[in-house]
Structure 1
């Protein structure tokens, strides 16, 4: 059974997120603004990491993109092998 707090008529046992929200709701606006300003850089970094991870997964699973990358790699390898097969030109006469 969940007990209720006599002060606020709020359940005494609530999930952590809700408990924090209830505590924060009792603070003045200035404290909330300062706290948000302090954690904003970390929130931005976490958002960027999630976005990059999502993009990585999408690109990894994109067959068209993977096929294009494979074709490009094959062309580059072929071009490199062809350049090795052609002997360098010989220079005749005096070299300046």
Structure 2
């Protein structure tokens, strides 16, 4: 649920494109800019997640149904699910867990 909330903020407040949104999340979780290799890995991961949830919209809706807070209905469920999983992966980095 925390990952989904930050993903929603990235999609609504983070900027007009994925680069700005990744920076938005990195600033909040890592308190630093992404390194070029990290950015590349995250962009590839996001692409894979968007493809997966685009092909499996039922999975996206199931993921977004978890938790008490409702998902933002203004954001496409497939996009929000992909960003939720990406943010979840970032939240599980050792660097984030040890801050």
TM-score in terms of structure 1 length = 0.27
Bigger radius of gyration among the two: 1
**Structure (1/2) with the larger helix percentage:** 2
TM-score in terms of structure 2 length = 0.26
